[in-house]
Homo-oligomer: A and B are copies of this chain.
Amino acid sequence: MSEKQSIDRRQMLKEAAIHLACRNGYDRTTIKDIAQKCDVTVGTIYHYFASKEDLFKEALVDRLPRLDESLPEISKLPIEEGLVQIAMITVNGLRQRAEMVSVICSESLRNPEILCLFVSAINRLREALEKYLEDKIAAGEIGPNNVKIIFNIFFGHFFTYFFHKERLGIQNLPPLDEQYIRDSVKTLLVGWKQGGSISESEKPT
């Protein structure tokens, strides 16, 4: 079998694994389930992956979201538009990886390796975005703010809303579309522009 086919098959198995685990959880996703979904036998899976855990670890590693490459372009935009772009990339990233996010949220609590993946993805995002916000403060586009807090507000807002609306399926919430994102960003910016989220202890004397 050609190398390409081999890569495709690995990919197919990883995707099936994540897809099933998203619905049923890691423990209730059996090797046989994955094999059947891919029309192969259990033995085949063990040709490509050393164990069930390995299969999932690989599946999660190679699909972590990356905001980094888009940031340089976005930095050139005015902050209103920049934050909208960032929020949309973040939400779309979650959406495309919705199944993976679910698996990671569940499994990270008990699997340190998966926790590590999750944390490093969030930290990459945090660092990039804090840097972006600091630049904008320096440039005077928004007032002086505690960037840790405003990152938390920004990310927590979109993450939780995505989780409530698109993963848990809570009813009667407005759609998480561009309009909602623009309204949210506008709301946030009203305060951020004025500044003031520097805590007493951080204030320069």
Contacts and interface: CB of A to CB of B under 8 A. Distances in A.
Contact of A102 (B109, B174, B196): B109
Contact of A188 (B153, B164, B170): B153
B105 A149 contact: no
A156 B148 contact: no
A74 interface: no
Contacts of A146: 183, 187
A49 interface: no
A159 B146 CA distance: 19
A85 interface: no
> Which of A174, A187, A191 gathers most chain B CB within 10 Å?
A187
Contacts of A164: 122
Contact of A27 (B27, B160, B161): B27
B148 A152 contact: no
Contact of A190 (B167, B186, B195): B195
Interface in A178-203: 179-180, 182-184, 186-192, 194-197, 199, 201
A167 B190 CA distance: 31
Nearest to A192: B191
A24 interface: yes
Interface string A1-43: 0000000000000000000001111111000000000000000
Interface of A: 22-28, 102, 105-110, 115, 118-119, 122-123, 145-146, 148-150, 152-153, 155-161, 164, 167-170, 173-174, 179-180, 182-184, 186-192, 194-197, 199, 201
